[in-house]
Amino acid sequence: MAQDNSGNHYGKSFSGRHSNQTKKNAGKEHSRFNKRENHKNTEQKSFKSNLKDSPVESPRLDTPNCAYCGEPIYDLPSAMSDRDTLQPVHFDCVLKKLNDSEKLNENEKITYIGQGRFGVVYFENPHDLRHFKIERIIEWEDREKKADWRTDIASKFSQTK
């Protein structure tokens, strides 16, 4: 076998120190490893599930009609209350009504800001929606008045058995 001045061998693949010993011991270590794994498997305890076999049923909600458009409201948790009657209305119907009734300037847009409120939002650059200023707030739902249909939804989803 050839060797250069640095002590490197040519012509033979060398995968570490004492490659012959490593090959001999590999089989022994592998068999010990398998024995340990098998031993662990016999020590594992089996756990029985206390859960019922039946699937969890989601609460059934009514599908009332929107007070504005008359169409059924299939996604009742995302609906809003009418200002006067507290009847459920589509979120999109409220947004349309606000867009029709509010006078908007250039680069202004009506946006939902949470807790039953909308904001007239001004965008200096309409292509950059990260930078804006809330010009005015429109209180749509009164925080003091709770609609019965919302209380019904909350009671169905928050009960634990």
Number of domains in the chain: 2
What is the distance between the alpha carbons of residues 122 and 89, in angstroms, rounded to a whole number? 26
Same domain, 106 and 132: yes
Of 66, 97, 128, the domain-final residue = 97
In a domain, 106, yes or no: yes
In a domain, 34, yes or no: no
**For the chain, what is the largest distance between any 2 Cα atoms, rounded to a whole number of angstroms?**
97
In a domain, 10, yes or no: no
pTM: 0.58
Give residue-wise pLDDT tens across range 80-134. 999 989 999 999 999 999 999 999 999 999 999 999 999 999 999 988 888 999 9
In a domain, 147, yes or no: no
Q: Which residues span the domain enclosing 79?
A: 58-97
Do 66 and 80 form a contact (C-beta atoms < 8 A)?
Answer: no
For residue 157, CA distances in Å to 41, 131, 146, 147 come to: 42, 36, 17, 16
